[in-house]
Structure formats: structure tokens, C-alpha cells
Chains A and B, each alone.
Chain A
């Protein structure tokens, strides 16, 4: 197992290099990082040229890439052209906010999908099963930003008009109150629910399907025959096997969430990684964009590996050579 993990980690290095090359090539093609300065009348052509030389932007693309790579090898992510701050610092400011949002969303996703997935599998073809399965289909097809808009209209705008308690329409906390725990939790509800819905709907269907498959197997009947309580059968015998596909799904989905959901963070004015990318993409801030892209790609690779390892742990029949 250790050898397998070591080999997988070594394999990821060329992959990440390839990703960084593709990323660098297309990001630098989006525009001139100094366009904000070239508009500035107070700066002469000479000033711009000096600035360009300072950032190394006068070099050919491959030279720029190699010097970026060299700095990265030394642990230096570079400096943002726009914020004029170290990229690592910018990311560390935003990452905790995204983590809060993702943790809240995943708390909703896992609780709701496991409970409803198991319930609908045990009570297959019941009224609840039909309703939940129907809603799950709708949930998978709903565009998350539209769901966010509808939730905003209902629970931030209309609720307020009707004099009911309403949720805030954006931001992480009320500036007059400050970032207290209740404030952040209150502001978290709408973005977390929006983020969670589509994923929850998909997971319910997966858990229901794999649970149905497991429940029809002999060892479950054996457990029933020897008189085990059904709660115990479900939680200890059935769920562990039914959770297998879920592990793979989480391994695939979670890293994408950790890089921040651009649309939802933009809509709810949530200052996370997605918005960082979005704000800096507009001005071709290469160091920031490269860092976020590579960070995400590394997470994807790492989580894929973790999912495979967890899979082997949950299902001893699986052996990696």
C-alpha cells in the first residue's frame, strides 16, 4: 500500500507540470496584466516599460513560465500585479472563508443525503420515496445560481416585505456587528443551502441506489435471520458497503468546492477563493490565477488518491499492487 501511494504521488508531478503549462499558456493569452497602467495618463511609455521589465513581462512566454516555475520551486508563489501583495497571503486571507462555506454545505449535504437516501431505499416505492426521488431529479437539474436568486427573492426580499424574519442578501457579517459566530452562521444559511442543493440531490440518488443493491444481498438477510435489530443492520452492515460510491463522489467533488464556487460567492458577496479568482481574472493577474489553478488541481489529485485509499480501507477485497 505504501509503495502504491508513493508511486501515485510520483505520477502526479508530471501531471501538475502539464496543468501549469496549459494554465500559463492560456492565462497569459487573456490580456495584458498592465492594461490598468497603460490607461493611466500620468504614466509615460518609459514608466510602463520599466514596470514591464520589473515584472519580467518583457520576456518571451516560455522564459516567464520558467522563472515562475523556478520561484515556485523555492516556495515563492509570486506577487499579485494588482494587489501588490504576496499571492500566498492573498490566498490565506480567502481560504478560511471558503472553508467555512464548504464545511457548512457539506454538513447539509451529508446529513440530508444519507438520511433521505437510506429512508427512501428502506421504504422503496412509498409516498416519501416518490416525493424525494422526484425532488432529487429537479434538484439535479436546477441551475444553482438561479436557485440562489429564487432563495434571495423569497427569504431576503419577500420575507422582509412581509415583515417576517429574513436572511441577509450577502456578505459574511454585518459591518455594524462584526464577524461574530452567530452573525457568520446567519449569513451562511442561504449560500450554504444554495451550494448544497444540487450535490445533495445527486447524492440521495446514489445512496438510494447503492443501498437498494446492498439490502438485497444475502448477508443482510442473515443478519435479519439471526435477529439483529434493523437499526443496527442498517447502520453497521448495510451503510458501510453502501457508502463506497459516496467516498469516490466526495473525493471528486470536494476539491472543486475548496477552490471556491465562483458563481455563488459572487452572488452572495462571499469573500472566498472563487471571488478571488474572479476578481483577478478580469485583469490577467497571472501569479494569483496560476496559484489558485494549481492549488485546485493539486487538491483534485490528492483527493482522488485519498478516495482510492479510503476505498481500499472500506472494502478489504480491493487490493492495490
Chain B
């Protein structure tokens, strides 16, 4: 999937003189070569893969019970070989809570971005391709949502939909699409005037196919970058909501909800606060590096830096 996206994303580069000079190399390989030069992006990608692999493998290593089992005889014990991240105020193992919390946080991050991208791309396509009234209405709506701080909307919407994991994914998805719709719209505005669109139209291709097969693939590069960075944003949003007690409800752990509880015990057990937050930091850091690398690799305009 990622491979295909890269190919189509790099498609507009065919026309640029720089790429023509290096004939014989596939576009994917060109992108990969540029990406590889970005060492921090490589490191970020690898660390992110490791975090995701551990999250995915968690159920095979220990049942979810490991993260939720309380032990009144072993509360607030500091990090030790038996419990490398210590235990919390009811004796749950923080290492397993951090790992299982990561599953929830990463799932919310990626799935909500999937919703946000679908919504943002759809609105951006319609707005940019059709223009006129549709564009005016959709863009004013985008402006309106952008003008309200997302945490305000998050608080209100989680109260409307309830604090379940699917609801949080939906709500964060609904708050994260505006940048993408603007990017896609701007690209559509310029691309729809190009000759290849005229050519497609003149041989009778319908609007839907022009949008999906001809114009959209050319705007995927910035969308992929925005999606990557959007995951980091979504993870922090979820953590903020959970930190206020609005997000994932106990006993399920997410990185943010673990921190919510940590506020009360941080005086006696600071490790409860340290590790989940550190995981958010590392994950978002890796995502940002990866996003920067992808931008350089996929976007022909920033080449040569």
C-alpha cells in the first residue's frame, strides 16, 4: 500500500527537468534515495516501527490482564528488575500499562487520522474541483472549525459521543481534517487547469474519474506528509483529553489516561508520570522526523536542500 502511494505521489515529478536527467531510476527509488539521506527520518522510522511492533505483539507476550491486574501488596514500588517501570497506586505493572496504553494511543492516532484524511481529502476535492458555491460553503465551514480551539471542541464533542475508544477516534478525526482539506483544495485549484485534465475531459472521462484517477494522485505527497504529522497531533490530543479525564476510561490504559491518574500519585511515585509521557514524547518526535524526511523525499519543490 505504502509502496503504491509513493509511486503515485511522485508522479508529477516526471515533468520536471531534474528527474528527466536521471533516467532509468524508478520514482520510488528516487524518493527512497532522498529519504535515506535524511538520517534522523530513518532513525525515527525505525524507532517508530519498533514501538509499533511491540504494541502489536503485546497480546502474544502477555494477556491484557498483565496491564490491569491490581496487587494491593505491591503498590507504588519504584522501578526494579521485576517491574522495570515500577508499579502504580493500585500495584499495576507500569511497563505493561505503558505497552498496552501504547496500543490504544497508537490505534487512536492512526485510525483518527484515517478519518481525518478521508474527510479532509473529500472536502478539499469537492471544494477545489467544483469551486463556486460548494467551495464557498465548504471553505467557510473549514474556517469556522479552524477558528475554535480544538480542545474546546474536543471537550464538547466527547460529552456528546461519550468516552469510549471508537467515539474518541471519531471525535479526534473530526478535529484534524482542516489543514488537509486546505492543502488538497489548493492543489486541485491549480491542477484542474492543466492540460492533462482537459485531455481526459475531451475523451469523455467523467468528473469522478478525473478527480480520483487523474488529479488526486498528484496531490498525495503533501497528504501523506500531513497524515504522518497528523498522527502525532492526534496522539497529543487524545492524551490531553485523557489527561482531563475525558478520554479512555479505566481500567483501559492509554498514555494520556495513565498520566491523568499520575497527577495524584506523582509525589510518592513519580515514575508513574515519567514513562508514559516519555513514550508520547519519543513517538511524536519520531513521527515529526519521519514527516520531515517524507516531505523532502516526496515533494519535488523542496529538492536540493
Residues of A within 8 A of B (CB): 14-15, 18-19, 22-23, 26-27, 29-31, 137-138, 140-143, 145-146, 149-150, 152-153, 157-158, 256, 259, 262-263, 266-267, 277-278, 281, 284, 289, 292-293, 296-297, 300-301
11 new A-B contacts, CB < 8 A, other than A23-B148, A143-B280, A259-B152, are: A18-B141, A137-B288, A138-B285, A143-B236, A149-B259, A149-B266, A150-B274, A157-B270, A259-B149, A263-B240, A289-B156
Chain B nearest Cβ from A161, distance in angstroms: 9
User: Given A141-B285, A263-B240: A15 and B144 within 8 A (CB)?
Assistant: yes
Number of B interface residues at 8 Å Cβ cutoff, please give it.
39
Give the residues in chain B near A266, CB-CB below 8 Å. 244
Chain A nearest Cβ from B109, distance in angstroms: 13
- CB contacts under 8 Å to A, within B141-165, are 141, 143-149, 151-153, 155-157, 159-160
Contact B273 A150 (CB under 8 A): yes
- CB contacts under 8 Å to A, within B205-263, are 232, 236, 239-240, 243-244, 259, 262-263
**What is the bound-complex CA distance between A278 and B151, given in angstroms?**
10
Residues of B within 8 A of A (CB): 140-141, 143-149, 151-153, 155-157, 159-160, 232, 236, 239-240, 243-244, 259, 262-263, 266-267, 270, 273-274, 277, 280-281, 284-285, 287-289
Contact B259 A281 (CB under 8 A): no
Give the residues in chain B near A293, CB-CB below 8 Å. 148, 152
**What is the bound-complex CA distance between A157 and B274, given in angstroms?**
14
Main secondary structure of the interface of A (DSSP, over half): helix
User: Given A300-B147, A301-B147: A27 and B156 within 8 A (CB)?
Assistant: yes
Contact A296 B149 (CB under 8 A): yes
**What is the bound-complex CA distance between A15 and B141, given in angstroms?**
8
Give the residues in chain B near A137, CB-CB below 8 Å. 285, 288-289
Listed by A's residue number, 23 A-B pairs whose Cβ atoms lie within 8 Å are: A22-B145, A22-B148, A23-B148, A26-B157, A27-B156, A138-B285, A142-B284, A143-B236, A143-B284, A145-B240, A149-B273, A150-B273, A150-B274, A152-B266, A153-B266, A157-B266, A262-B151, A263-B240, A263-B243, A263-B244, A278-B244, A296-B147, A300-B146
Contact B140 A143 (CB under 8 A): no
Give the residues in chain A near B147, CB-CB below 8 Å. 15, 19, 296-297, 300-301
Contact B143 A15 (CB under 8 A): yes
Contact B259 A145 (CB under 8 A): yes
Give the residues in chain B near A149, CB-CB below 8 Å. 259, 262-263, 266, 273, 277
